[in-house]
Structure 1
Amino acid sequence: MAYEKPIPLRSRGNRPVRPPRPRPPAAHRVAIVGAGPTGVYTLAALLRLAPSRLHVDIFEKGSAAGPGMPYSADMNAPVMLSNIASRELPPVLTSLNDWLRGLDTSDLARLGLRAAEISDEAFYPRLALGAYFTAQMSDVIALGRRQGHRIELHLHHTVTDIAPRAAGVELAWRSPGSASKALYADAVLATGHRWPDRTCAGGAVLHSPWPAEKLTRLPQQRIGVLGTSLSAIDVAVTIASARGRFCEEGGRMRYVAQEGREPFLLSLMSRKGLLPEADYWYDLPLPELPRLAGICAEVSGTEVSGAEEGALLDRAYRAFVADLQAADPAWLAGLGGPDVPCDAFCHAYFAKRLAADPFDWARANLVEAEETVASKTPTPWRSALLRAHELFEELIPRFSDAEVAAFHATLKPMFTDCYACVPHPSIKRLLALREAGVLEVLRLGQTTGDDSQITACAQGVSVRHGGQESVFEMLIDARGQRAMTLADLGFPSLARAGLLSEPLRFDAFVLPLSAPCAGRIHCVALPALLQRHPFVQGLVNASEMGGETAEMIAKAMRKTALKSG
């Protein structure tokens, strides 16, 4: 029987039966796996963009939420410096400098800072950034709860699997006292650096530099360090600081070894045997490169056709060189002019430094860099390269596999060198160690990238380079985060064959799942992104990825609300 009118509500005794109150819509369930800076930026962006209530579970296998491995007090030493000027760091709720200015003298001292050192151009200790992100995570969680969201932080919780199901994304985890699982509409995979000890094919153990505290207790006197970037410099400085001290005398940095200490020698080594340059001044925002930016705008949001496949890198390179010609023609002429081929461009970029002693170059370069910072005068070609690497970062997910390989072999080393300039104190410390006779730089050559020239030997580890052999008691691998696949991240369901409906290019951060799933898996895990996003390791990237992920989640929430409304 059908009723044309609603059934009237009957009373119970003398009390009328009230219509049931409408239930508030269920909170949108989000899991964030990893509570480092990317997780902090993602949560903060979610609070800004979410159109309705959230239920957010944050899983962190460590003991602190916010700093992640690169800025954790458990992993880093006080002498280790961050590689981002404070003016570049995207604020969470409060800017880094405003937060630091709110600390008292004793709190600043614990972070290795004085109030007079707080400035837009400053490079702070990693521990200072870690304390900032820890405080910001706490403030973001408190803000979300005041706004009516349910936000739960689960420390010492290790996520063991992330599995797409028809009803959503299922997370399984374990904690010291239990194990459980739950379904979510969105799972954000924000796990950061993974840097374990490992054994190479030649049987030699390549030791991780983390946690840094272990570097202060090493008994070995002949120590090799793979890498010459800021991570490798921090390793050398940490080891040396445990065996002596740095001091300023007459405006010059000196290193003084402890009396009675056995002599030691640290060897930084890389393929090219070059040290990074000192940080130069550049204006923000960076100057635009109209031709290269035009290509980015042209291909944004479109599918690359079969006819275009393989042509995008060449077009982008030619546009880049044309923009560089307009920005700094004299510098480009020194590299071969506007017609220089892509592979020759990279060789020419490094040629003068390869012909010089790395420490002589570092001394002269430091003077030049200090002058640009003091006068706030940008170097046109450096600013152009910094902007170009951002634009190529947008294009790389759209490159064919062959283009990605070609980019890694040609342009990537140049862009990496340009954006990975280091704080001036780091160069001064290197020069002090060199003058004290405890530091050298070795050029390994292009054949050692696969570690085939590294073998175990009776004295420790043998490294062959350029027809020579160097023997170390211990070898530390400070070359940076290695690229990984989804299968390497340790979640069995993400390693399953047939998981994805198409090859993973990461032009968006949502995994293209082959099976129906009511939820989404957002992968902003650094190791898995590096092949398609080789410059993704910075905090600016963490902020951008967190914002993009939050926008995708908010968009899905609005779509769901329209359907149910």
Structure 2
Amino acid sequence: MKVPETLAVIGSGPSAIYLLKHILDHVEVLKRQFREILVFEKCEFTGMGMPYSPNTTDRFNLSNISSDELPELPRTLAAWLRAQSPTVLESLGISSTEISEEGIYSRLALGEYFKAQYQLLTAWLEEAGIRITDHAQCEITDITDEEGFVRLFSAEGEIYEAGRVVIATGHHWPNQDSPKAGYFASPWPISKLLPEDGGHYPFTIGTLGASLSAFDVISSLAHRHGSFVKEGNRLVYHADEGAGEFKMAMHSAQGLLPHLQFDQRKPRREVYRHVSREELLSLRDEAGFLRLATYFDQVCRPALIQALEKNALNDVARRLGDPAFGVVDFAEAMTEKHDYANAFEGMRKEMTEAVASVKRHRPIHWKEILDDLMYMLNYHAGLMPAEDHLLLRAKVMPFVMNVAAAMPLQSGDKILALYDAGRLELVTGAVADVHPKDGQGVTVKVEDEGGKKSTLHYPMFIDCKGQSPVGVEEYPFPSLAKSGKIRPARVPYAGSGETPEDSANQKSDCADAQGRQLHEIGGIDIDETYHVIGEDGQPNPRVFDMASPHIAGLRPYSYGLQACSHTAAIVVEGWLGLEPGSRETAEETG
């Protein structure tokens, strides 16, 4: 096979799976560009992805997406589950009577589903004339960009060549654990946190964050220290006799728990649901910037007012009618509605609304619309100036991510059961310092909103705050960085570059050739169709990067499986010579 006719894909999880799906959709055109696809996966399982692999997750960890929300693959999740034998369903903890399009299932179930879809897609691509070569347990540790092709180097010393490469590696968790101190820099793989069979942790375990990842930890450990039992209409937690003082403490800066699962009118996101691409681009100012305030005024405000009125939140809808009530005001107003003196009792109160929404198909319109609007902004965030990126990250994203978490109802029930049993607490305040010491545990310093400082000590502490952007210095393919084939994601300031809100950010400022002050927003630079951009400012025609940690600066809301699919579609649109989003627009109007 000639090198230019070969496509290499690094990673075989959902991003790669959706890439294969969109290639299959246009296989008659694309097989003229490449006749072979090499898929590299560092684990032994191809077609699963880190969050869904038995190497990483646990049978007690739920996904937070239903079958009707999943982007299109050969079969829907619900249809695939219905086709499985009772033995397979039992191994996944699923009863055949529980299967539905709206159901939420374990991450392991999604992993098996994705693996099956991957196998179907690769078989169909083979039938259509594109050869697929799987390289499982083959970690690519470096890439060099040569004249007209790329060279890939594996951890085992093998060398591969391809005409182009798509980096679809997904999550990146550097190993910065200190197990002797009881400190873990991430929850993954979750097996590293579990006691030995029959063992217990008879002490309080802390988590940094009250996220879905934190609840994965809580759920896995709670099941090893007791059991959840349905008593009447309530779920109750009973600790094992040997559990002792086992307890979990979640640290949350604002003292908030995630919003709960909700029903949606249109479960699948669309980038241009509210305005067309042309209308959105017309909102740019004379300098070419899409200002966050303009986007909120022209696109978000009318859509949110309508949605809030449908949910009888007329007080906030009225306030949005005032042009002076901006995006930060909205985030603060809606956060205040979710802020309770006791977050667990607040969740219990919100559970009533969430159950009614899900079970009776009553959409919570404002949450769905908010997700839509952020999804649209995500794919155009590179048009915003530095000031707006800083504002979005500091004031808006914490609120949005808390809503978008959409914790499954089953998980909410377990949280309340653990709280009622005295086995779960929430610690409010910003964690200022985490200091692990071998053999002595982890010291955590906390400062609350009033400035009061306190020091806590944990025999075991897990950082669950989530994935951080991966920039040039940490980039997993060092030759691309050393040769200047990638550069940090930077955006110019609209004004003087003064950002009194966050002076620490000035450390990552620089100037371009025209003297404009630029701000590094995290991750690496990419163009609209995910070509990496080098120090020369030119997109690389052979190297594409769609890994969310690498592109988090320019794509700050690239979370979840729907983003995996849409990002893959944009990459393929670029190969077809189409404008990003043009296929979606055609599908909506066709």
Q: Same fold (TM over 0.5)?
A: yes
Deviations 1:495-543 (A, max 9, x none): 1263258952553311134499984211001211222222212011111
Distance in 2 of aligned mates of 1:426 and 1:151: 39
1:40-439 superposed matches below 5 A: 40-50=17-27, 51=29, 52=31, 54-175=35-156, 179-198=157-176, 205-217=183-195, 220=201, 221-284=203-266, 293-294=274-275, 296-300=277-281, 307-309=287-289, 312-319=291-298, 320-329=300-309, 331=313, 333-334=315-316, 336-339=319-322, 340-439=325-424
Q: 1:180 to 1:516 in 2, by over 3 A?
A: farther
Deviation at 1:166, TM superposition (A): 1.7
Q: 1:525 to 1:122 in 2, by over 3 A?
A: same
SS across alignment from 2:153: strand
SS across alignment from 1:489: coil
Which residue type is aligned with residue 459 of structure 2?
E
Deviation at 1:396, TM superposition (A): 1.3
Q: 1:182 to 1:108 in 2, by over 3 A?
A: same
Deviation at 1:270, TM superposition (A): 1.6
Alpha-carbon RMSD across the aligned residues, in angstroms, is 2.8
Q: Are the aligned partners of 2:204 and 2:248 in contact in 1 as well (CA < 8 Å)?
A: yes
Q: Which residue of 2 aligns with 1:483?
A: 469
Q: Indicate the larger mover: 236-245 or 491-500.
A: 491-500
Which residue type is aligned with residue 328 of structure 1?
L
Q: Which residue of 1 aligns with 2:533?
A: 512
Higher relative contact order (CA 8 A, sep 6+): 1
Residue 455 of structure 1 is aligned with which of 427, 435, 438?
Answer: 435
Q: Indicate the larger mover: 28-37 or 321-330.
A: 321-330
Distance in 2 of aligned mates of 1:151 and 1:518: 24
Which residue type is aligned with residue 304 of structure 2?
L
Q: Which residue of 2 aligns with 1:34?
A: 11
Q: 1:554 to 1:181 in 2, by over 3 A?
A: farther
Distance in 1 of aligned mates of 2:486 and 2:57: 37
Q: Which residue of 1 aligns with 2:494?
A: none
Which residue type is aligned with residue 216 of structure 2?
D
Q: Are the aligned partners of 1:286 and 1:387 in contact in 2 as well (CA < 8 Å)?
A: no
Distance in 1 of aligned mates of 2:376 and 2:551: 17
Distance in 1 of aligned mates of 2:354 and 2:538: 55
Deviations 1:66-85 (A, max 9, x none): 11110001111101000111
Q: Are the aligned partners of 2:259 and 2:404 in contact in 1 as well (CA < 8 Å)?
A: no
Residue 532 of structure 1 is aligned with which of 525, 550, 554?
Answer: 554
Deviation at 1:192, TM superposition (A): 1.1
Q: Which residue of 2 aligns with 1:473?
A: 459
Deviation at 1:162, TM superposition (A): 1.6
Q: Which residue of 2 aligns with 1:499?
A: 485
Distance in 1 of aligned mates of 2:476 and 2:296: 37
Which residue type is aligned with residue 375 of structure 2?
E
Distance in 2 of aligned mates of 1:27 and 1:102: 40
Deviation at 1:237, TM superposition (A): 0.9
Deviation at 1:371, TM superposition (A): 0.8
Q: Which residue of 2 aligns with 1:16?
A: none
Which residue type is aligned with residue 508 of structure 1?
T
Question: Structure 2: which 5+ runs fail to align?
Answer: 491-524, 579-590
SS across alignment from 1:415: helix
Q: Which residue of 1 aligns with 2:584?
A: none
Deviation at 1:39, TM superposition (A): 0.8
Deviations 1:400-450 (A, max 9, x none): 2222111112222222122211110000000111111111011123xx3xx
Which residue type is aligned with residue 387 of structure 1?
D
TM-score, normalising length: structure 2: 0.82
Q: Indicate the larger mover: 316-325 or 214-223.
A: 214-223
Which residue type is aligned with residue 144 of structure 1?
L
Distance in 2 of aligned mates of 1:303 and 1:151: 43
Q: 1:279 to 1:517 in 2, by over 3 A?
A: closer
Distance in 2 of aligned mates of 1:40 and 1:58: 10
Deviation at 1:228, TM superposition (A): 1.1
Distance in 2 of aligned mates of 1:46 and 1:118: 30
Distance in 1 of aligned mates of 2:269 and 2:137: 44
Which residue type is aligned with residue 474 of structure 1?
M
Q: 1:351 to 1:497 in 2, by over 3 A?
A: farther
Q: 1:507 to 1:404 in 2, by over 3 A?
A: farther
Q: How many residues align?
A: 520
Which residue type is aligned with residue 531 of structure 2?
V
Among all aligned residue pairs of Structure 1 and Structure 2, give the percentage whose two residues are the same amino acid.
29
Which residue type is aligned with residue 238 of structure 1?
S
Distance in 1 of aligned mates of 2:276 and 2:125: 39
